[in-house]
Amino acid sequence: MSGISGNQIKVKKNADLTAFNTLGVKAKADKLVEVDSVEDLISLHKSGFFKTNEPFILGGGSNVLLLGNLSNPVLKISIPGIEVKKEDRNHVLVEIGAGVNWHSFVEYCVINNYGGVENLALIPGTTGAAPIQNIGAYGVELDQVFDSLELFDIRSGKVKTYLKEECEFGYRDSIFKCDLKGKVIVTSVTLRLTKSHHKINTEYRALSEFLREKQIFSPAIKDIFDAVVAIRKSKLPDPSLLGNAGSFFKNPVVENSVAEQLKDKHADMPAYEVDESHKKIPAGWLIEKAGWKGKQFGNVGTYRNQALVIVNHGGATGHEIYDHAKKIKESVSEMFGIDLVPEVNIFGNQA
């Protein structure tokens, strides 16, 4: 990103990572390296850092479960900056540094009347993690407004641009979680947003019901933003008050025949069309039906307002949280024949 220059690289030994993961798991890193610019990454490459180390890449720590201390160096990506790259009467291309807080960027867009990300308000984490996960909420996914990103190739030391079609976006998935995992570092993301004729998305039931209750029948971007923030705050705990990583599991996608069989047994089961042959079933509904909503065992529990969220009531270890998630997974599999897949990235020995 233009205007962002390298500084002296900050290195901290025996670093406490508790404040760097929203689950609030106590863990330490032998070495924590904070990266403020692309130049920092290039300097690290030239020094041979990536030849002798396999670093753990950390953004906002909102989508990770640490199972213990990390002997590998941790790279904290803190690259700042929001820059308008190009605009016309109807659209704007905005480049965002990978270290920018995602919700802060959404607020910036609402203030400037840039449309396309208002449904993604209050998603925790940094912008650099957004395309890796292909974040989505309330009827919108990042790939719908995605233009391109810049990344640093750990092997070659080169900065490359990836266009949308190269990212292989899927449901909470991308090439960066698969083929390129651990091989590249996202340094900035460019989104194509609207300046006029905004496409207002109110298809998600909870959102449309909220707007109807407020008697907002022609919502603007700010109305959608405010509604999503209010809904999320009512359902999801604040990580600063109660450790959590948001949705712990992905919503499973099943074939229509499987959904129909489950509907025969559970008439109240919600199911949403993905394509002609697949339906998406809310993981939170499955977990709640299996009896886990609001349950607490020791320091770990399932949130009382949303069964999809696992919470740290204080002092929980990574393995305690992992074991709780494993029991939920086994319970849902036994009851529904569906295997839940974690949305949270798990690091450490799972044995």
Provide the angle, in degrees to the nearest 10, between the axes of the packed helices 205-213 and 221-235.
110
Residues 295 and 323 in one domain: yes
Residue tagged active-site, from 34, 118, 172, 192: 172
Burial of 189 (0-12, 13-18, 19+ CB in 10 A): buried
- Mean pLDDT over the full length of the chain: 94
- Express each pLDDT in 210-233 by its tens digit: 999 999 999 999 999 999 999 999
What's the whole-number mean pLDDT along residues 4-30? 86
What's the whole-number mean pLDDT along residues 43-68? 93
Does the pLDDT of residue 60 top 60, yes or no? Answer: yes
Residue tagged active-site, from 62, 78, 188, 247: 247
Percentage, residues of the chain above pLDDT 70: 98
Give the separation between CA 235 and CA 309, rounded to whole angstroms: 9
What's the whole-number mean pLDDT along residues 42-69? 93
Give the separation between CA 204 and CA 14, rounded to whole angstroms: 45
Place of tokens 């720590």: 61
Per-residue confidence (pLDDT) for residue 4, from 0 to 100: 36
Residue tagged active-site, from 39, 166, 288, 343: 343
Looking at 77, 107, 136, which one is the last position of a domain?
77
The answer to the question of residue 231 being in a domain is no
Residues 109 and 188 in one domain: yes
Per-residue confidence (pLDDT) for residue 296, from 0 to 100: 97
What's the whole-number mean pLDDT along residues 117-129? 96
* CATH code of 316's domain: 3.90.78.10
Number of domains in the chain: 3
Banded model confidence at residue 7, pLDDT cuts 50, 70, 90: low
The answer to the question of residue 226 being in a domain is no
Per-residue confidence (pLDDT) for residue 351, from 0 to 100: 64
The answer to the question of residue 27 being in a domain is yes
What's the whole-number mean pLDDT along residues 55-73? 92
Looking at 57, 77, 97, which one is the last position of a domain?
77
Catalytic status, residue 172: yes
Catalytic status, residue 343: yes
Q: Within a 13 Å sphere around the CA of 150, how many CA atoms are in the beta-carbon half?
A: 18
Banded model confidence at residue 175, pLDDT cuts 50, 70, 90: very high
130, 102 in Cβ contact below 8 A?
yes
Which of the two residues, 273 and 81, has the higher pLDDT score? 81
Q: Which amino acid is at 65?
A: L
What's the whole-number mean pLDDT along residues 96-113? 98
Q: Which domain holds residue 167?
A: 82-194
Does the pLDDT of residue 5 top 70, yes or no? Answer: no
Banded model confidence at residue 6, pLDDT cuts 50, 70, 90: very low
Residues 18 and 109 in one domain: no
The answer to the question of residue 201 being in a domain is no
Per-residue exposure over 96-120, b if at least 16 CB sit within 10 Å of its own CB, e if not:
bbbbbbbbebbbebbeeebbbbbbb
Looking at 166, 194, 222, which one is the last position of a domain?
194
The answer to the question of residue 48 being in a domain is yes
- Express each pLDDT in 280-330 by its tens digit: 999 999 999 999 999 999 999 999 999 999 999 999 999 999 999 999 999
What pTM was estimated for this model as a whole?
Answer: 0.86
Banded model confidence at residue 3, pLDDT cuts 50, 70, 90: very low
Token output for 20: 């760097």
